[in-house]
Structure 1
Amino acid sequence: MEKIFFSSEGIARIIGKNGLMKKKIEKNLDIKIKKNEDDSLMIDSKDKVEEFLLRYFLDAITLGFPFNIAMSLIKSDKIFKQIDIKNFSKNPSRIDVIKSRVIGKEGKAKKTISYLTATDIMIKENFIGIIGEAENVHSAEEAFLKIIRGAPHAHVYKFLESEQKRRKEIEAELEEFRRKIKK
């Protein structure tokens, strides 16, 4: 049994309206969740590996990821990375500038990074959440860090396009290698 602390808003997201999200989580993961008075949840799981992954799943849910995307953290090889924007500045106006740059005009930066890295991205308050395959999550994280540090968006997109091209070349080489092995 593990005790995990969340904000009251995070707990509300996990419990859901009329407890529906909690029931859905318990049913799909074969666990029991109990809310404590101190803004914590007690998680009872038979599978310790799943209990470990559950923390990332719950963090993704509290950040606003849809259930099925958060569930991919447990049911597939996807990983979750969270970036706290406040780690890069204590100045509230600078944090607002960083958030604006990370999101981009009409959400363009977030959407472009998500598209070029084949990741799911959620930005809430001072946090950026990324879900996807490990290498793609790493590329998205690098892109956001470049933007946070002030790199022009165009340079970041060019970096991601070259990463995307490199991944495709590696995949093609692997596929060719697999074909040769089968012969």
Structure 2
Amino acid sequence: MKHVKIPQDRIGVLIGEGGETMREIEAAAEVRLDIDSENGSVAVESVGDPVSGLKGPEIVRAIGRGFPPEEALQLLDDDMMQFDVVDIDAAARNKNDMKRKKGRLIGEDGRTRELMEELSGADVVIYGSTLGAIGTPQQVDAVRTAAEMLLDGAPHGTVYSFLEERHNEMKHQGMQYHRYPGGES
């Protein structure tokens, strides 16, 4: 059994209307979720396939980090899908610096985050003091590298060029490079 702590304001999303989301996760990942809505602690117990069971805590963590349940459930699509978190707070000197760095990751009108998604093929969510990514190892690695470049102060143009390069490499290697709800692009 694994314990995952998620923010209070994400408990409702995890449970879903009438417990619907929770039941969907339990069925898909073959786990049982025991949610303590007082402190945000979620016990995840594997009750079926151990491989799916290992993804259960990751799905809960992804929802806790701001992903919609349907995106978090993509972690079950195949073994290649992974979830990664970049801690913005750890890269910041203080609260104001944290806000500034988070703003650099989001970009004007959310454009930087969108480009990270479009060019890497990963799903990217910025929530609280973290940036989360769900995708294949190459996609997630591209997002992490781009986020770290931005947090280190690299110009946005440099980061976009890096992402375009990675996008073209992945495309060249024949990898699916973006998933839209309802299929591939």
TM-score range, shorter chain: 0.7 to 0.9
Report how far residue 72 of structure 1 moved: 1.2
- Equivalent residue number for residue 99 of structure 2: 96
Give the alignment of 1:118-133 within 5 angstroms: 118-133=121-136
Alignment deviations for residues 1-35 of structure 1 (CA, whole Å, 9 cap, x no partner): 33333332333331223322212222333322222
Alignment deviations for residues 76-116 of structure 1 (CA, whole Å, 9 cap, x no partner): 22111111101101400000100111000001101111111
**CA–CA separation in structure 2 for the residues paired with 1:90 and 1:71:** 34
Larger radius of gyration: 1
Give the alignment of 1:163-178 within 5 angstroms: 163-171=166-174
- Equivalent residue number for residue 22 of structure 1: 22
2:71 to 66, 69, 72: 69
**CA–CA separation in structure 1 for the residues paired with 2:138 and 2:129:** 24
Structure 1 pair 171–19 and aligned structure 2 pair: CA distance change class (3 A): closer
Report how far residue 48 of structure 1 moved: 2.7
**CA–CA separation in structure 2 for the residues paired with 1:169 and 1:38:** 47
Q: When the two structures are superposed, what TM-score results if normalisation uses the length of structure 2?
A: 0.83
1:83 to 76, 81, 86: 86
Structure 1 pair 170–29 and aligned structure 2 pair: CA distance change class (3 A): closer
- Equivalent residue number for residue 182 of structure 2: none
Structure 1 pair 159–12 and aligned structure 2 pair: CA distance change class (3 A): same
Structure 1 pair 149–32 and aligned structure 2 pair: CA distance change class (3 A): same
* Identical residues among aligned pairs (%): 27
**CA–CA separation in structure 2 for the residues paired with 1:169 and 1:44:** 40
Matched, 1:105 2:108: yes
Structure 1 pair 75–171 and aligned structure 2 pair: CA distance change class (3 A): closer
**CA–CA separation in structure 2 for the residues paired with 1:104 and 1:39:** 30
Q: CA RMSD in A?
A: 1.9
Aligned length: 172
Q: Which runs of 5+ in 2 are unaligned?
A: 176-185
Amino acid at match of 2:101: I
Q: When the two structures are superposed, what TM-score results if normalisation uses the length of structure 1?
A: 0.84
Report how far residue 38 of structure 1 moved: 4.9
Amino acid at match of 1:5: K
**CA–CA separation in structure 2 for the residues paired with 1:122 and 1:165:** 23
Q: Which runs of 5+ in 1 are unaligned?
A: 173-183
Q: Which has the higher helix share?
A: 1
**CA–CA separation in structure 2 for the residues paired with 1:43 and 1:164:** 35
- Equivalent residue number for residue 144 of structure 2: 141
**CA–CA separation in structure 2 for the residues paired with 1:133 and 1:109:** 20
Structure 1 pair 50–155 and aligned structure 2 pair: CA distance change class (3 A): same
Q: Secondary structure at the match of 1:157?
A: helix
